[in-house]
Amino acid sequence: MMNPFYQNYGHISALRLIVKIDSSNIVSMISFTKRCTFKVDQELRKIQSNDLIVYDIELSEFITRKLNVLKLQNGSPIFTEHQIEQMYDQLNKANITDGKIRERHVQALKSSVSNIGSVETLKSNTPQDTTKCILCGTAVSPKVKEYCLSNKKRFNGEVYCFEYQKLFK
């Protein structure tokens, strides 16, 4: 299973880029069933963020409480109905519906997860550039990395594989 923090980070990064929304206006939440035991490794214990982990039985109550707190803090809604509809349209337009592209994404994720901790990964401490797409973890060439980083306005200083670059026209 891919680490939910990393997966959620990728989703939020894509959301911010597609709908041009500030991260302060996003509530990041990860929900598990009560059957799950979530173990946080030492590296993740150091993360300071607004990421929340809740169990599914607490989810509705948590969302209601969060909405009430936000209403008290902001007084009025942050976004108008029209802005929300525009964001929805942007997300809908950027949604990749091509089954082949989705399958490649799933395979890339499975590949990156299965390679974590493998002998090849541990041995590959060579200084070669192994930059990966922030969303799917696919390795990108130095040329793709250079292209993304030289287009800061378009990619917000992040590196994306060719398939995900199409989202940011």
Query: Half-sphere exposure (CA, 13 Å, Cβ side) for 86?
Result: 8
Residues 9 and 69 in one domain: yes
Domain boundary among 72, 95, 118: 95
- Condensed to tens digits (0 to 9), the pLDDT of residues 69-104 reads 888 888 888 889 999 999 999 999 888 888 888 888
21 and 62 share one domain: yes
What pLDDT does 120 receive? 37
In this model, does residue 48 exceed pLDDT 70? no
pLDDT of residue 12: 86
- Reported as type and span, the H/E element at residue 97 is none
Co-location of 115 and 77 in the same domain: no
Q: 87 and 5, same structural domain? A: yes
Give yes or no: residues 89 and 110 share one domain.
Answer: no
**Looking at the predicted structure, is the pLDDT value of residue 2 above 90?**
no
Please indicate, yes or no, whether residues 117 and 35 belong to a single structural domain of this protein: no
Residues 103, 60 within the same domain: no
**What is the predicted pLDDT for the residue at 33?**
81
Q: How many domains does the chain have?
A: 2
Show which of 70, 95, 120 is a domain's final residue.
Answer: 95
Range of the domain at 167: 98-169
Per residue in 121-144, is it b (16+ CB within 10 Å) or e — as a string? eeeeeeeeeebbbbbbbbebeeeb
Q: Which residue among 56, 72, 95 closes a domain?
A: 95
Residue 5 parent element (H or E) = helix 4-19
Residues 84 and 108 in one domain: no
Same domain, 56 and 127: no
3-state secondary structure of 158: coil
Q: What share of the chain is helix, strand, coil (3-state, %, to 5)?
A: 55, 5, 40
Scan for tokens 């030492």, then name that residue: 42
Does residue 75 sit in the same domain as residue 34? yes
